[in-house]
A and B are shown apart, each in its own frame.
Chain A
Amino acid sequence: METAASHPSPKTAPRPANPQKIARESWTFRRAFLVLATLTFWAPLVGWLTRSLQVAEGGGRIAFAIGLFAAILPLFATLAFRPWYVFEFFRSVRVGVTNLILIACGSILGVLFFQEDADFPIPKRAVESLASWAEADAQRPWTSDEFFAYDTYASLSGRGAGFRNAQSFFAYRLAEGLGLDGMFGLGNEYDIDYAGIEARLDPLKERLPELEARFGTDFSIALASQSETGLVTQARDRRIGAIEEKFDDFWWSLFVWSDRLDLIRVYKSDWFAMYWAILFCGVLTNTFRGGWRRNLRPARWGFVLTHVGVMMVCVGGLWSRINEQRGILELNVNRSSDVWKTWSGETRGFHGEWTGKGENPFAVRLTGFRADHHDVLSINYLKTNPDGRQDFEFALDRQPEERLWKGKVLRYDRVLDEDGNEGEPQLIIEVLDKVEQSVLDQRLRPADDGETGHPMARLALIDSHGHRVRESALAAALEIPFVHANSGSRVLLSAVEDEEQAYALLGETPRERWGILQRASADSSHKYHDIVPGLSFEEELPDGTYSVEVLDAQPFLQVQEVNASEIVPAPLDREIEFIESRNPAVQLRIVAPDGEVETRWVLAADTGNSLPVKFDQLRYGLIWDDWASPARQRYLLMMSAAGGLWWGEVGQPDSLQAVKEGTQFALGADGAGFDGGPAEHVELVQALPNASVAPEYLPKAGVDFFDTSPAAVRLGITTPGPEGPITEEVWLRTKQGRQREILRYTAANGELRELVLLFREQSEQLPIEWQSRLQILAEDPSTKRWAPVDESTVRVNDYFLHKGYRFFQTNHDPRDPTYSGIGVVYDPGIPWVLTGYYLVMFGTAVVFLLKPLITRRHRAV
């Protein structure tokens, strides 16, 4: 390697005749490193002085100004008196390579140290303030900034791993990998008991062949793998926790020094930014070394594309850093807003003070939102205990679940021969049809031979203009009413024997209730409570008696905000009789035996029971009762087996009238509905006393993604029968229909198999897709009214760009199906960076792939 001593010093050397040659020779790696290392300390000093100067006052301001002047003087002096020296520095390949190595080293520091959240940085001086808290003023309470800083260290609030945990995790895994985890000196109680883990796994391993035969090879391997890894991970987590606690003082000191040296914000540090600035200058001077005309030669195109790309990325990055704003726009469906919030909590307008000056402001309206979850078929094999109760045959944390699509075939329960080899499957489930957004086939069909017929009717809603708006089928057996929200009416079909019974039925006033509260007990049994406002009851649990009170119930809960994980509902804009049950919820007040109180909302949509609650041992599900919940009027359509049809209003037996297909009935009275307009009608389109109740579903026509109709699936299920396999077809639907199928068959070994197939939405997991439909509203200068000017649908991976603002799908709230969190980004650096990205990618391909292919210079030896 060349040394600096072997070359004339730039100070004494005459101006070189061939600057390019000198540039190559006058910088060694050692000199380059020394200069860059000096600059590494210089850049944070200048940054600190600049920021301090901005906030300092009085004499301090003068001191900082002098300090800043002294710090940048050498740079200016070099630029003024030795510009060629600076130019050579940037043009040196050795400097460039050393700088790249330092960027890599900075990045390595970035991954070796926990990094603060760039959107939620630790407030300035908060760590320093906290570090001196114990000595300086131990009695005063922490400030919110200090609490935030400590939360970043110890993750008290549980928002991800904190510094201490992350570093302990890394230290432990590194030491373990090197076989040095004994160096932490933890007690024996934290040793990983591999023999104990093996012993715990033994019963599972014994049953693995059975599980493999029942659910397949992949399932049994996954179960064994997850169980073993899970146990080892639990043991490791205990060790990591112990390392956190034992070395807490060390971690805290490391945290404080990491804050001081910007090691927890490497990528935003001044020294790291300086490396990028040097990279830009180096690439700039080298790309155009020897004149720009050289770069027009085809042989250099790839080189030029790549290096111009790198420069554009640097420029775009700088532009982003200066101008970028990120935040969130929180909207409910059919609400609009002309302001959004940055992640730091500041409220901004669109094209306000900060961005797009001179442009007219605009607002954003959410016209549609939906989070679509996976639809899965859960396969639950059951066993009957000696006490007669049923339980899962396999005590898994989650019974096997499968995503379904048309044509998929699931094979279970393979026959095992004497040697344990697997044979043919005994249960075969074939997906014959899958409808993502299904609608019940409203056409009534007479029951087939051998099938039990039930009374069913089909109604059509006629609006005030006489148009058929929608149709709906009613089944007497299901007791699900036709709901007309505008008039607050409900219509139910009931089976009666004759007119006399119909008259009597009309005279009965139904018991009013909102729905049913269902509690799952530890013994897999369920307890039910009819919900009415003011209801209170007690629950006996092992730790004592809990008292529960029903505070409120809403058929369509819309979340206004969440305070300390408690839902604050948006106020209702109408009486509840006029609201359809689109997100039914009930509010409970629970008092624990120790007097602790929890107020929670239980949502019918939360079928996975996944919402956070305080008293986890007391979990409730909700089934809303559309018929018995408050209504303005309830109507009964009654049908006898002989075909008699009657209509009347509940509570008014004298309103009973005989009807026939084609008859129309008014829902409510003129002016009594929510909109105060004329009453709407329903028409009895079809009625069958012995209709088939086996539902069939059709794809809902003319709907887009935002329609929330549930998915339905038609399954062909083959099970062993006494005279060979029996195949039956069944429709299942995730909601508003038949969700489960109970099967029984005798397996080849003579055992009775009982299982339940459950088709459900995996609402407790991430959605498969979520989309928001946005409308841009702008003021029309002529009319001074806000009107839509643009519209688009956003989803993850597909944002909407409007006048420099990028809107993209960020989050949703399972408690409020109408809420959508829209990410907002204003970043004029993005086009620069993207262009740079493409140039680098194509430039590299030209240099390394296209050019060698064309010139065929690739033979090795």
Chain B
Amino acid sequence: MDSFFEYRSLLEMTKVAAMVSAITAFLSAFGWFLLPRFAKRSRGLAVTPDGSQVQLSVSESPREPGGLLALSRLLPWMAAVCFVINLAAQATRYFEVRHWPAQTMYEVIPLGTTAGFLSCIVLYFVLSLQKTRGVARGFSDLFLAVIFVGAWFTLVSVLRLDPTGRALPPALQSYWFSTHITAYMFGYFTLFIATAAAWLLFCFKFWRGFVDRQNHPVSKLTKWGVPIFALIAAPFGSMGMSLGPGLLAVTGLIAGISAWSGSKMEWFDRWEKGSDRFTWLIFVVGFPFLTAGLIQGGLWAQEAWALYWGWDSKEVSAFISWLFYVVYLHLRYVVGWRGEKGMWILAFGGLSIYITFQLFGYLPASQASLHRYTDMSVVPAEGMMAPPPEAPMAN
């Protein structure tokens, strides 16, 4: 049993839980989207217990099947299960390395997925997803499915990383180490969810323009923005392919199912009307934590080096991401950029965070950064390899 309570085993379990949750969410979502079709199929004559025949009719809002509703209501609980297992993994890692598990990417990213699951549960209630009814519930379930799929992809990539546990160097031995990184992770992953939400809404808007061109024409911004965003996401590995072009295809399929069911995606009306506020509320949950992470970094640097802001490339990258959202905030609050324009900023905000979080090491100034603690040493075990081709072979 000693391997059960190991970090790696628990991460594997979280990965499986995220995958099961994603499949459940997809099944539930497709169940809701297919509901009108099957409800139509049941239209016809039925025999009553007294033997008479009755003409059945289907209302615009078909009756919610209890099983589907139960499956849908299971999803926040599944997010809670993922959160608990992931949290247990982080706690186990704490005891394995004897410090807050946030030094290497092998520790930081799962800390982020833990925060992401927590954020998912919080957002479920903040966005009142539990109150959604009818086919519209398919959208909320699909939204949760996207989060689970993102978490699953993330954990798959984490489990390929170098798992070496490292001791903290003096500069990282501070109480800010835990709060600074945890606040950032909650902010990052919540704002990733905001990006996913905006993207999902744009995908449906895009397809609805095809399904119901007359009543819901696609704006130029969305018409061009959606394919471009899908193309931008595509190079970011299998996750980028799945959540970019892949999700666009899935939403297209759902739009097709709606058309097949004789609907013009009326269920999307309320989501479309509330889309700006929907994404805004996710931003509202994530942004204070992003700010707290940024500020705590400054407070920490001040304690470590009496330097509250060193213009280190990682600091600046994080600052640029923060400015991105500050600009969104002011444009939406004061200039009145609501709806599509504001949501596109949120969609691209995730890219800015991704660059800061994962691609920072490719920037020219990153090599001199004070934030290279998380990089692992990459010393090849040459003594155990075949000799290089130019070297003389041993007899």
Q: Which residues of A contact B (CB under 8 A)?
A: 93-94, 96-97, 100-101, 103-104, 107-108, 110-115, 117-118, 160-161, 165-167, 169-170, 173-174, 177-178, 196, 199-204, 207, 217-218, 221-223, 225-231, 233-234, 267, 316-317, 326, 374, 394-398, 403, 405, 411, 766-770, 795-799, 806, 808-809, 823, 825, 827, 830, 833-834, 837-838, 840-841, 844-845, 847-849, 852, 858-861
Contacts and interface: CB of A to CB of B under 8 A. Distances in A.
Given A160-B368, A769-B170, A844-B291, A110 B316 contact: yes
Contacts of B300: 797
Given A94-B335, A97-B335, A227-B385, A111 B306 contact: no
A841 B384 contact: no
Nearest to A193: B389
B320 to A, nearest CB: 5
B162 A169 contact: no
Most buried by A among B287, B320, B387: B320
A611 B93 CA distance: 34
B363 A395 contact: no
A114 B313 CA distance: 9
Contacts of B126: 858, 860
10 contacts: A101-B323, A112-B364, A167-B364, A200-B386, A226-B162, A228-B380, A234-B380, A823-B306, A848-B285, A860-B281
A200 B384 CA distance: 9
Nearest to A807: B306
A796 B304 contact: yes
Contact of A823 (B305, B366, B381, B384): B305
Nearest to B356: A111
A796 B173 contact: yes
B162 A221 contact: yes
B44 interface: no
A230 B306 CA distance: 36
A234 B368 CA distance: 19
Contact of B331 (A97, A267, A766, A797): A97
A401 to B, nearest CB: 10
Contacts of B132: 861
B52 interface: no
B376 interface: yes
B164 A218 contact: yes
Contacts of B229: none
Given A222-B162, A797-B300, A809-B170, 10 more contacts: A112-B363, A169-B364, A196-B389, A225-B161, A395-B381, A766-B170, A796-B171, A830-B306, A841-B291, A844-B291
B45 interface: no
A-B interface, 4 closest residue pairs, ranked by CB to CB distance from nearest: A395-B383, A230-B380, A861-B274, A166-B364
Contacts of B213: none
A233 B377 CA distance: 11
Interface in B352-370: 362-368
B365 A797 contact: no
A714 B287 CA distance: 50
Given A97-B327, A217-B8, A394-B384, A845 B288 contact: yes
B220 interface: no
A94 B362 CA distance: 33
B299 A837 contact: yes
B167 interface: yes
Interface bin, chain B = 35 or more
A94 B334 CA distance: 9
B266 to A, nearest CB: 14
B302 A830 contact: yes
Given A226-B379, A841-B292, A203 B386 contact: yes
A837 B363 contact: no
Interface in B251-288: 270-271, 273-274, 277-278, 281, 284-285, 287-288
B317 to A, nearest CB: 6
Contacts of A394: 384
B160 to A, nearest CB: 7
Contact of B383 (A397, A770, A796): A397
B127 interface: yes
B311 A267 contact: yes
A395 B331 contact: no
Contacts of B274: 860-861
B305 A808 contact: yes
A221 B163 contact: yes
Contacts of B292: 841, 844-845
Interface string B6-34: 00100000000000000000000000000
A230 B365 contact: no
A403 B365 CA distance: 33
B326 interface: yes
A534 B270 CA distance: 92
Contact of A100 (B304, B317, B327): B327
B277 A860 contact: yes
B383 A166 contact: no
A225 B162 contact: yes
B47 interface: no
B342 to A, nearest CB: 12
Given A204-B385, A799-B303, A848-B287, A766 B330 contact: no
B288 A770 contact: no
Nearest to A168: B364
Contact of A107 (B168, B271, B320, B384): B320
B303 A798 contact: yes
A396 B365 contact: no
A840 B288 CA distance: 10
Given A96-B330, A799-B306, A218 B320 contact: no
Contacts of A207: 384
B374 interface: no
Contacts of B383: 395-397
B128 A861 contact: yes
B210 interface: no
B67 interface: no
A787 B306 CA distance: 27
B2 A852 contact: no
B319 interface: yes
B63 interface: no
Contacts of A766: 169-170
Interface string B108-133: 00000000000000000011100010
A233 B308 contact: no
A813 B362 CA distance: 32
A231 B380 contact: yes
B371 interface: no
B330 A100 contact: yes
B288 A397 contact: no
B268 to A, nearest CB: 11
B382 interface: yes
B330 A837 contact: no
B348 interface: no
B335 A93 contact: yes
Interface string B317-351: 10110011011001100110000000000000000
Interface in B41-90: none
B295 interface: yes
Most buried by A among B132, B278, B330: B330
A111 B355 CA distance: 11
A166 B327 CA distance: 30
A104 B171 contact: no
Contacts of A230: 378-380
A174 B359 CA distance: 10
A104 B323 contact: yes
Contacts of A228: 380
B170 A201 contact: no
Nearest to A320: B308
A808 B386 contact: no
A861 B273 CA distance: 8
B299 A834 contact: yes
Contacts of B363: 111-112, 170
B156 interface: no
Most buried by A among B270, B302, B384: B384
Contacts of A233: 378
